Amino acid sequence: MKLAIRTGKGALAIVLLMGAWAAQACTANYDEMRPITSGNDFTYSGVRRPLTEWQELWGSYVDPAAGFYDRCTAGSTYSLNVSPQLAYVGYEVDGAAVFQVAGNVGVQFRIVEGTSGFGSARSVGSTGSNLNVEALASGRVRFRLWYRYIAIVDVSSATSLQMNPFTWSITNFSDGSLSFGKGTAADDIKLYVPPPPPSCWFVRSPPASVALPLTTVGMLERTGSGPEQAFTWSFNCNSTASGANITYTPGTSTTDPKSGRMSIEAGVGAAEGVELEVRRAISSGSTKRPVEFNKVSSRGTSGTEYLDVRYVPITGAELKPGVANGSLKINLDVY
């Protein structure tokens, strides 16, 4: 009876030890891997040419899905082969095998295990990639995996491409019970459409002509200026522009570009002793100040220019009535 009791205790001890070992064994990480969800538009440049740049699955190795196993005994090592369960199309591009992931699209991979940090990524060949992995102190056996899509037929007319889901076969040569399949989600990518070049345009164009109010010699002599005539114009820029550059150029000469004053056009019947003054503000109700001719003024991506023009006498010159015309060039550019 005593022998039976001791045997029972021995059997119980064996069971407990086996249970403790099983609790420390790795657990396969079945979390589905997913391609990145944005920023991976494609550009077609020919058959057997890349459609996209290299992208990392999930966008980061820190994601819980980026691991073969978890809850492992720290320091345990395994020899693995990882291979996508996709048909090999029969050729490589830049040293990496191309696998068919859709009727018109191939995919290729680079992989590196995360034993202690990460080394250099290796191209996945037609039979997959062999890895020697070690469980970290966290219990994880992690990896980094990059993918790139390849055109296997002409897709020049496509505006979107859909890739099928597939499974990675994880073959564990060290412990066959830890061999398993890890899924990768379906994916779709859109044709890359380059952004438009930066541009700005007139929303409300400057008037082709501005008629000034009647101005007499007496007005100029009494007040030093004639009545002004206001006008406005507006602009807008697209999303790729930083803003607008605005330049005002007089059609006639100016003795001081900072004064906003320019001479009137000469000719038979032209007035004398008078010139035109152009003033500007960039918001409604603000005080207008003389335009600085030929100077580039930078604005944002939209706005309105508030201007007025009036006659002013030339200091020390005799005033004579007559025709008093002038012109102003407005240049709207983008930066």
pLDDT under 50: residue ranges of the chain: 1-24
* CATH 2.60.40.1410, the chain: domain bounds: 26-190
Burial 66-102 (b: 16+ CB within 10 A, else e): bbbbbebeeebebebebbbebebbeebbeebbbbbbb
Nearest Cα neighbor of 236 from 163, 305, 302, 137 is 302
Q: Which two tokens stand for residue 128?
A: 């997959």
Q: What is the pLDDT of residue 310?
A: 98
* CATH 2.60.40.1090, the chain: domain bounds: 200-334
Q: What is the pLDDT of residue 32?
A: 87
List alpha helices for 121-275, DSSP H: 217-223
3-state secondary structure of 59: helix
* pLDDT tens per residue, range 294-323: 999 999 999 999 999 999 999 999 999 999
CATH architecture of 200-334: Sandwich (2.60)
Strand partners, 333: 245
Superfamily of domain 26-190: Bacterial adhesins - F17c-type (2.60.40.1410)
Q: What is the pLDDT of residue 119?
A: 80
